[in-house]
Amino acid sequence: MTRPLRLVILGRQGSGKGTQCVRLVAHYGTVHVSTGDMLRAAITEGTTLGKQADAVMKAGNLVSDDIINGIVEVRLRKDDIRTNGVLLDGFPRTPVQADALERMVGPGGLDAAINLEVPVSVVKERMLLRGRADDTPEAIERRLALYAQETAPLIAWFASRGLLVEVDGLGTEEDVFARLVAAVDARR
Ligand code: AMP
């Protein structure tokens, strides 16, 4: 048996990453770990972590690397992930987190970091079309600029380790999913 799959997925808002994550975990049987979802759950539950994260997230800032690395490390040690592997979504967000992840999984422990690439012009149009209250043109610009700032160093980090896989996110959901599966299978 091959060892459990360990993947990271990157993609800006509006790239279709959420939809594709659902399909990928169903296909590979891996565990979906979204740090954003974990933090939102902690806020809802009113835990210490939730209290620390709430204001930071509302201000649109990043939760500290120490806190995030701690919760991911604990999560990765659980049996479900040891057995079935993991799809990391929203983590790592900084090179410090990427270094920590490398230590957690050990050398060669990651199969790939997939960058689901959809051009900025297309995601802007998609976000404007969905018409959510927080999707004003200004807010969209700000989130995309932040994402570019956050992600550019990570792309370089993964590329320098030969882990970066670019996948074209344009086209139908089916087409994109087929490309993702082909890209992942090629790395195993
Ligand atoms: P997301 O759902 O991935 O967009 O995350 C929502 C918010 O949670 C982000 O804007 C951050 O404030 C926080 N967050 C999620 N993941 C991380 C992370 N890996 N490092 C720092 N902050 C994070």
Q: What is the pTM of this model?
A: 0.95
CA 156 to chain centre: 16
Of all protein residues, whose CA lies closest to atom 6 belonging to ligand 1? 36
- Please give the pLDDT value at position 132: 83
Do residues 170 and 118 make contact, with C-beta atoms less than 8 angstroms apart? yes
Of all protein residues, whose CA lies closest to atom 14 belonging to ligand 1? 36
- Please give the pLDDT value at position 105: 96
Q: Taken in order 30, 34, 40, 45, is the CA torsion positive or negative?
A: positive
- Please give the pLDDT value at position 1: 54
Per-block mean pLDDT, blocks of 10 residues, the chain (188 long): 89 95 98 97 96 90 95 98 97 96 95 97 92 86 90 95 98 98 96
Ligand 1 pocket check for 35: Cβ under 6 Å:
yes
CA distances from 175 to 22, 126, 172, 180 (A): 15, 18, 5, 9
State how beta strands 6-10 and 164-168 pair.
Answer: unpaired
- All domains in the chain, ordered by first residue: 6-183 (3.40.50.300)
